[in-house]
Amino acid sequence: MKTKDITRISFLSSILVCVFLAFSQIMYLELVTTTLLLYSLNLEIRDSFMVALIFGAVLLLIFGIQSFSIMYMIIFPIFALIISFSKKLLNKNNWLIIIVGGLFSFLLGTLVDLPYILFSGKATYIYLIMGFQVGIVQGFATVVVLTLVFESLNNKFKLIMKGN
């Protein structure tokens, strides 16, 4: 890996952390999945995976070992891999990108609650049911954001990466 690649990955990871911190206080607005979708569709598989992994590691450093930060370190690299491996299919249709983004945003809230199964099966079901309420709205909000801004963001990101 060249210095240029490491710098790009570090910079994009820091943007992802900034997006998380900037929008984490706004209920239902989850833009990390949107940003990771943008990265994974335009970067090499290795780069998008590393960006997501470093993002998770930085969240672990900021928030400590908590269930959500551990799950983010697992979930987002997996999301990056899934998107990267299916980018040929996704790039054919913007609506497919929007649906996948909404689905992943919905799944994020559900998957983050899975560690509670270690404590109690009943607690997990309660967290999952409560998470569905938030996840549905969060997924819908991501669909709206992607519908409004993704094509423009994607074009600008491609221009920036081309100049790289």
**pLDDT at residue number 164:** 61
Task: Please state which architecture CATH assigns to domain 3-162.
Answer: Orthogonal Bundle (1.10)
Average pLDDT, the chain: 89
What is the distance between the alpha carbons of residues 97 and 156, in angstroms, rounded to a whole number? 17
**pLDDT at residue number 62:** 94
With pLDDT > 70 as the criterion, what percentage of the chain qualifies?
93
**pLDDT at residue number 24:** 86
CA distances for 25 relative to 20, 44, 66, 67, 151, angstroms: 9, 31, 18, 18, 26
With pLDDT > 90 as the criterion, what percentage of the chain qualifies?
62
pLDDT > 90? residue 125: no
Q: What average pLDDT does the segment 38-48 reach?
A: 95
What is the pTM assigned to this prediction?
0.88
What residue spans define the domains of the chain? 3-162
